[in-house]
Amino acid sequence: MRFRISIFILLVTLMLKTALGQIVTVKIEDFVTQHNGFEENEEGEINPINLKEINKRIRFFIEEKYPKIVDFTRNIIWDSYGTFLSPSDRYHSHTFIVQVKVTDVDRLKYLEVQYDPYEKKVTGNFQWIPEDEEFYLVDEQVEEQKLLPNLKELEISNHDKKPSLNDFLSEHQGFIDERDRLNLSENEIVPINVAKINKLIRSFNDSNYSNVEYTRNIIWDSYTTFLSPFDKYNFHVFIAQVKVEGINRLKYLEVFYNPATEKITTDFEWIESDEEFFRVVKATESDS
């Protein structure tokens, strides 16, 4: 269904906030607290707890945003929780699927909303299209999501090997431990095993780019997590500065590190005509 695009909404939100240069206010410890608010059974299924207050806020948001469209909210279903962490920004968000009764429409309809645990605020970008009798994501965000990396192609989302809830907690705790051990400021944070990852990135570049003479510098860029009943993943993004054969200026490319598989992937390709590395986004089934 068209409303099932919570992963894309999360990533679009993260990119937009980064572009706006949001001031760092959320603490890494807040991510740990949120992850501790989930229960994981032996099958690896995730269930959130203590949603009563959030559900109240969502019902109020729906009433305020769609006063002449929605008669009442029938059900609220927790969909996912995501975090973003970088030297300059950090934020997290829960996504909920809301089942509502629309005026003069017999069938119940669905839309998505996001809840920010730090601001304790509900937001949503779905609009009612009367001629279709459906809620759809606003066109601007639909177009923006097409520019995002394809995490399935990068062997991050929908992967057989998924992280556990404890893996999420350990990874965030690793940032805290390194920050405290090295007495780093909030904008100097790095993953706890960054030296090991850097070695993997250098080896990956040597094996996958025949035109790269060597990797000069590797910069940790960000860390993202996604937790839901249907998928779980986390990944780091690094910027690699490389020397390309026959090119005097150093060039840059993005690589991804999946902690669950300990594997490096990328969607950046060398474009000879531009003498640059660019992201090559493959079309999804919905685009065809």
Instruction: Please state, in angstroms and rounded to a whole number, the distance separating the CA atoms of residues 186 and 20.
Output: 18
User: What does the pLDDT look like over 234-266, one tens digit per residue?
Assistant: 999 999 999 999 999 999 999 999 999 999 999
**Residues 102, 169 within the same domain:** no
Indicate whether 10 belongs to any domain: yes
User: What does the pLDDT look like over 123-169, one tens digit per residue?
Assistant: 999 999 999 999 998 876 666 667 789 999 999 999 999 999 999 99
**Domains in the chain, number:** 2
Instruction: Please state, in angstroms and rounded to a whole number, the distance separating the CA atoms of residues 131 and 117.
Output: 35
Q: Phi and psi for 18 in degrees, rounded to 5?
A: -65, -45
**Residues 275, 221 within the same domain:** yes
Mean pLDDT for all residues in the chain: 88
Question: What tokens does 6 get?
Answer: 């919570």
- Domain containing 183: what range? 165-279
pLDDT exceeds 50 at position 233: yes
Segment 218-233 mean pLDDT: 95
**Residues 38, 93 within the same domain:** yes
Provide the pLDDT for residue 41. Answer: 79
Exposed (0-12), middle (13-18) or buried (19+): which is 107, by Cβ within 10 Å? exposed
Tell whether the torsion through CA atoms of 132, 135, 139 and 144 is positive or negative.
Answer: negative
> Which of 193, 141, 184, 175 has its CA nearest to residue 14?
141
**Residues 61, 120 within the same domain:** yes
- Bridge partner list, 122: 115
The number of beta carbons lying within 10 Å of the beta carbon of residue 276 is 16
Indicate whether 33 belongs to any domain: yes
pLDDT exceeds 80 at position 276: yes
Q: In this structure, what DSSP letter does residue 158 have?
A: T
Q: In this structure, what DSSP letter does residue 12 have?
A: H
8 A C-beta contact, residue 181 and residue 174: no
**Residues 38, 140 within the same domain:** yes
Indicate whether 156 belongs to any domain: no
**Residues 200, 139 within the same domain:** no
Provide the pLDDT for residue 16. Answer: 47
Provide the pLDDT for residue 281. Answer: 72
Domain end residue (candidates: 145, 177, 201): 145
**Residues 241, 116 within the same domain:** no
Provide the pLDDT for residue 20. Answer: 40
pTM for the structure as a whole: 0.85
Q: In this structure, what DSSP letter does residue 225 have?
A: E
pLDDT exceeds 90 at position 284: no
Inter-CA distances, 159 with 60, 92, 154, 189, 229, Å: 37, 22, 10, 28, 14
User: What does the pLDDT look like over 37-86, one tens digit per residue?
Assistant: 898 877 777 888 778 999 999 999 999 999 999 999 999 999 999 999 99
Instruction: Please state, in angstroms and rounded to a whole number, the distance separating the CA atoms of residues 34 and 27.
Output: 11
**Residues 131, 196 within the same domain:** no
